[in-house]
Amino acid sequence: MSSDTIVEIRDLDYSRGHRQIFKGLNISIARGKVTAVMGPSGTGKTTLLRLITRQLVPDRGTILVDGVDISRLSQTELFRLRKRFGMLFQNGALLTDISVFENVAFPLREHTRLPNRLIRHIVLTKLHAVGLRGAADMMPSELSGGMARRVALARAMVMDPDILIYDEPFVGLDPISMGVIVRLVRKMNDALGISSIVVSHDVQEISTVADCSYLISGGTVAASGSPDELSNTRSELVRQFMHGMADGPVPFHFSAPNYAEQLLGRDTE
């Protein structure tokens, strides 16, 4: 594993029931860069994040995090490794019955023995970084969608992770809030010297921030490269996804029996 790579996925197979999600998947996450993982809905993007953090176990293949095979870790070692990850969940996942300040402080209170004075300093620093230090005493119900996502980002950063994972960070945001989050993804990655993995299907937004993008389809990597390289590819599948074309290799209809036969009930005879 190269020293320039922080996460290496090799020959990964994973199935859910009879459905194969990944087949021979190979992805390298560069250290200190923003790596985007894109693909049509249902291609397993969020599943991939769960495999990287070993919430799920692959059927075959290897996942190395900073050179360590996570399948060989004990539970104690795995919990220690997970502290190196920060996670921005798709819906923010703020705890609704505690304040913004306490949401951001939660990981510190759970995983450290820092004094309250130092916790306060760290939390206010992270909230300031996302522009919400003035909202520290507010409750999640008082926040807009964009503000809630920024609080969730502050919480994801509070333990100073080596790897920051974003699961669909732009979903449900208005254009202004989306622009703020896009800028923060880039700003936080560069300012903190971390490695970012962004799962998204928002091509335009992620293309402005990613150093490298992987397009997943059919259980494997259909294409990879810079956003410009993917936009200019000759692959019909990649062009369909990057340009939002309704017609192309990705079908509108999910695989199903013959329509007429199923309506007439002949398939049950």
Q: Token pair of 82, please?
A: 């997970």
The confidence score (pLDDT) of residue 77 equals 92
Confidence class of residue 172 from pLDDT cuts 50, 70 and 90? Answer: confident
Cα first-last separation, the chain: 56
pLDDT digits (tens, 9 = 90+) for 23-81: 999 999 999 999 999 877 778 888 999 999 999 999 999 999 998 999 889 999 998 88
Mean pLDDT confidence for 154-161: 91
Q: How many angstroms separate the CA atoms of 37 and 49, rounded? A: 10
| pTM listed for this prediction | 0.80
Residue-range domains of the chain with CATH:
5-230 (3.40.50.300)
Q: What letter represents residue 101's amino acid?
A: F
pLDDT digits (tens, 9 = 90+) for 180-214: 888 888 888 888 889 999 988 777 777 788 899 89
The confidence score (pLDDT) of residue 34 equals 92
Confidence class of residue 9 from pLDDT cuts 50, 70 and 90? Answer: very high
pLDDT digits (tens, 9 = 90+) for 244-268: 555 555 554 455 677 667 777 755 4
Q: Is the pLDDT of residue 230 over 60?
A: yes
Strand partners, 14: 22
Confidence class of residue 235 from pLDDT cuts 50, 70 and 90? Answer: low
Looking at residue 231, the DSSP 8-state letter turns out to be H
Q: How many angstroms separate the CA atoms of 182 and 224, rounded? A: 21
Burial state string for 246-264 with b = 16 or more CB within 10 A and e = fewer than 16: eeebbeeeeeeeeeeeeee
Q: Judge contact between 22 and 14, C-beta under 8 A.
A: yes
pLDDT digits (tens, 9 = 90+) for 97-147: 999 999 999 999 998 899 999 999 999 999 998 889 999 999 999 998 888
Residue ranges in the chain assigned as alpha helix (H):
45-52, 75-82, 100-111, 116-129, 145-157, 175-192, 203-207, 227-231, 236-242, 259-264
